[in-house]
A = this chain, B = another copy of it.
């Protein structure tokens, strides 16, 4: 475990907070999987198990005014950012109480209040959006930054290349966060990239970068702090590669023929929650009661979210075409 370097911020409370966020995501995903088998949740759903340290390490380092662009594997990002678990789950239920009115589902969580610019189900599709958000900030002289999450699979897409070049060329405050979990669906990194060192991609665009053990929440947080500070101060992009692993199947339809059970087992030993919890315990920073409290708080939050989702209502079918275009009122509002 990376020893915390930035002591003052790493109060015990803060350190426990990191653990709790990771547990919160893990338990939430488990509930989602359960609800999926119950057919309460439908469509494509991609769980974040194993990768929690990335969202939890990066997102709290951002300010409220900063912006976030995510992928279809974004439950964790939304939760850590502060999108209420209730509306996230209601969204997956397809209820109008959901954070996207039930129209987006698992892959399209949006939340204006927290500057959460959505899950995007097109691999690589969010990168140009992030460039544009940052361009707006640059042109207005705002000091917000935009954090853009994407998988290592997106690196093969032309839009990755175009976006990194534009961000570097124009000096845009984008934090590119590559969640390198070694697979894009069933395609291992070596089958998708001739240069498998993802961090090196940044140098091709003269973008400052760092690669970090994405299973180590303290290391991710420290790297994110450096990264965010760099973007905020230089107003230039920064590339953070988080080396991680997805413990579950790609989506709910994946038989995982492409990787050995043994490989998954190896990674299970590196997984971020057990590891971090063990480290906290070894350093006497956590007590069994803390853990019990966390678990029960998380369980309560999840229970509340399920109740909210269950109680949610269906958008009247008459509203189907509403907001394909803005309405007059919305127009004035914009």
The CA of A194 and the CA of B162, in the complex, are separated in Å by 11
User: B157, B165, B168, B169: which contacts A162 (Cβ < 8 A)?
Assistant: B157
Question: How many copies are assembled?
Answer: 2
Interface string of A160-186 (1 = CB under 8 A from B): 111011001100000000000000000
In the complex, chain B residues whose CB is within 8 Å of the CB of A162: 156-158, 161
Stretch at the interface among A20-28, A199-207, A257-265: A199-207
In the complex, chain B residues whose CB is within 8 Å of the CB of A191: 169
| Closest Cβ–Cβ distance, residue A190 to chain B (whole Å) | 9
| Closest Cβ–Cβ distance, residue A124 to chain B (whole Å) | 9
A159 at the interface (CB under 8 A from B): yes
Closest residue of chain B to A191 (Cβ to Cβ) is: B169
In the complex, chain B residues whose CB is within 8 Å of the CB of A205: 194-195
A192 at the interface (CB under 8 A from B): yes
Closest residue of chain B to A202 (Cβ to Cβ) is: B204
User: B156, B161, B200: which contacts A160 (Cβ < 8 A)?
Assistant: B161
A193 at the interface (CB under 8 A from B): yes
In the complex, chain B residues whose CB is within 8 Å of the CB of A201: 204
Chain A interfacial residues counted at CB < 8 A: 23
In the complex, chain B residues whose CB is within 8 Å of the CB of A207: 194
User: B157, B158, B169, B195: which contacts A194 (Cβ < 8 A)?
Assistant: B169
A interface residues with partner B (beta carbon < 8 Å): 156-162, 164-165, 168-169, 191-195, 200-201, 203-207
Known contacts being A165-B193, A168-B194, A194-B206, is A158 close to B159, with CB within 8 Å? yes
Other A-B contacts than A161-B162, A169-B193, 5 sampled, CB-CB below 8 A, are A158-B160, A195-B204, A195-B205, A195-B206, A201-B204
| Closest Cβ–Cβ distance, residue A183 to chain B (whole Å) | 16
| Closest Cβ–Cβ distance, residue A280 to chain B (whole Å) | 40
Which of A158, A161, A192, A207: most chain B Cβ within 10 A?
A: A161
User: B157, B169, B206: which contacts A158 (Cβ < 8 A)?
Assistant: B157
The CA of A31 and the CA of B159, in the complex, are separated in Å by 41
| Closest Cβ–Cβ distance, residue A202 to chain B (whole Å) | 10
In the complex, chain B residues whose CB is within 8 Å of the CB of A168: 194-195
Task: Please list 26 pairs of residues, one from A and one from B, whose beta carbons are closer than 8 Å in the complex, sorted by A's number.
Answer: A156-B162, A156-B165, A157-B158, A157-B162, A158-B158, A158-B160, A158-B161, A158-B162, A160-B161, A161-B161, A161-B162, A165-B193, A165-B194, A168-B194, A168-B195, A169-B191, A169-B192, A169-B194, A194-B206, A194-B207, A195-B204, A195-B205, A195-B206, A200-B204, A201-B204, A204-B204
Which of A158, A168, A200: most chain B Cβ within 10 A?
A: A158
Ranked nearest first, the 10 interchain pairs of A and B with the lowest CB-CB distance are: A158-B158, A168-B194, A161-B161, A204-B204, A169-B194, A194-B205, A194-B206, A195-B206, A158-B162, A158-B161
In the complex, chain B residues whose CB is within 8 Å of the CB of A192: 169
The CA of A168 and the CA of B190, in the complex, are separated in Å by 12
The CA of A206 and the CA of B201, in the complex, are separated in Å by 11
In the complex, chain B residues whose CB is within 8 Å of the CB of A169: 191-194
Closest residue of chain B to A190 (Cβ to Cβ) is: B169
In the complex, chain B residues whose CB is within 8 Å of the CB of A160: 158, 161
